Chain A
Amino acid sequence: AQSVTQLGSHVSVSEGALVLLRCNYSSSVPPYLFWYVQYPNQGLQLLLKYTSAATLVKGINGFEAEFKKSETSFHLTKPSAHMSDAAEYFCAVSYYGNNRLAFGKGNQVVVIP
């Protein structure tokens, strides 16, 4: 079964510092990978997706992620954190080749002024 691991449920980052959220997947076939963001009292919004076209994927709000097959990873980064980046972030992998998604447990990001 495909699964996703996100370490560290809460991540604190200083305003202006690098944001790094780690995602590792397990998959027996080439995966499709997604990062979603959830702001308080809202649903999930797509940040970016990897669909094998390019290993470095740029998303919205200055985020990007790099697919590394050798490390089975799809880590999310943003060079400089902003207060508005405070939210919960979920990594997901497509599941059984039929658009089912398996989600990680999420990272709650806190931005410190």
Chain B
Amino acid sequence: DVKVTQSSRYLVKRTGEKVFLECVQDMDHENMFWYRQDPGLGLRLIYFSYDVKMKEKGDIPEGYSVSREKKERFSLILESASTNQTSMYLCASSQARDSNQPQHFGDGTRLSIL
């Protein structure tokens, strides 16, 4: 079974802090994704990566950056956290760039910015 592990289930930070959300997958997947989930808005793609050291912007990249130094790990960085970044963050991975491959999700990190 594919396992996508997010380092924290719940996180509380303060406005202006630099926040790191970590995600690790154990299936040697090429693709990794970061989403945020808000009530009534579904999932919105922040950033994704098709390979080590590669990254591409999703639909809402403003205020975020990412890092992929190793194939199994994909980090989301909030450079200077703001209250409007309070949300549920979901990481996902998939096997290849084929459109028919499903994405596998972690359990999410619920982030609160005070």
Contact = CB atoms under 8 A, between A and B. Distances in A.
Given A43-B106, A43-B108, A44-B90, A103 B99 contact: no
B96 A99 contact: yes
Interface residues of B, number: 28
B108 to A, nearest CB: 5
B107 A42 contact: yes
B105 to A, nearest CB: 4
Interface stretch (B37-45, B64-72, B78-86): B37-45
A32 B107 contact: no
A77 interface: no
B105 A43 contact: yes
Contacts of A42: 107-108
A104 B106 CA distance: 19
B100 A32 contact: yes
Interface string B38-78: 00111111001010000000100000000000000000000
A9 interface: yes
A100 B58 CA distance: 9
A106 B37 CA distance: 11
A82 to B, nearest CB: 23
B4 interface: yes
B103 A99 contact: yes
B48 A100 contact: yes
Contacts of B106: 43
Interface in B12-45: 31, 40-45
B47 to A, nearest CB: 11
A99 B94 contact: yes
Interface of B: 4, 9, 31, 40-45, 48, 50, 58, 90, 92, 94, 96-108
